[in-house]
Amino acid sequence: MTEAAPFDRVRIGVVSISDRASTGVYEDKGIPALKDWLTRALRNPVEWETRLIPDEQATISATLIDLVDSAKCDLVLTTGGTGPSPRDVTPEATLAVAHKEMPGFGEQMRQISLRFVPTAILSRQVAVIRGQSLIINLPGQPKSIAETLEGLPLAQPPVHGIFAAVPYCIDLIGGPYLETDDAVCKAFRPKSAQRPPPRG
């Protein structure tokens, strides 16, 4: 009997996009919120690449390219800059570096947020694939970040969070095998794509 392999190492980029936080006007809460949720949700060992940058389209695009092409991140999550105001350019910067767009992620994030506020339709989050990396724009508020990632399991009917689909998406583009803590977020994979659980 073949012993199951240990958890794959994963490299994750987390990017907070804010003019004021990047210049020290106030403390950034996006990066801590992303790292906290991912640390609880993932069983894999994670290597972090963190960036705190202003709302400048060219800077955002260059940062995403660097994280994927140079730092070799398997997953990149951004927070901030997805509203309708003139300085909100994260979706444009993300689409500019995309090889493929994954519209279902943005659609589901807005569906989750609409449970709480009608202004969720103003959010413009997108998700894309660049090379072998998945890039997802998330909301700016820590509470909204957690809700969109893990969903609303106690709602009737329950609402799936977007992270349940992330591990299989990364499988399909040639990345590492992400293992989640089911108590935080149960990943969905077809039976044919599931690995036996690691021992120990």
pLDDT for 158 equals 83
pLDDT for 1 equals 41
Report field, pTM of the whole predicted structure over 0.85: yes
Cα 50 to Cα 124, 134, 148, 180, 198, distances in angstroms = 22, 16, 20, 21, 29
Give Cβ neighbours of residue 183 (< 8 Å, ≥ 6 apart): none
pLDDT for 156 equals 83
Residue segments in the chain with a per-residue pLDDT below the cut of 70: 1-5, 198-200
pLDDT tens for each residue of 20-37: 888 888 889 999 999 999
CATH topology of domain 10-193: Molybdenum Cofactor Biosythetic Enzyme; Chain A (3.40.980)
Cα 26 to Cα 21, 30, 48, 122, 142, distances in angstroms = 5, 12, 23, 24, 15
pLDDT for 175 equals 97
pLDDT for 26 equals 84
pLDDT tens for each residue of 128-159: 999 999 999 999 899 999 999 999 888 888 88
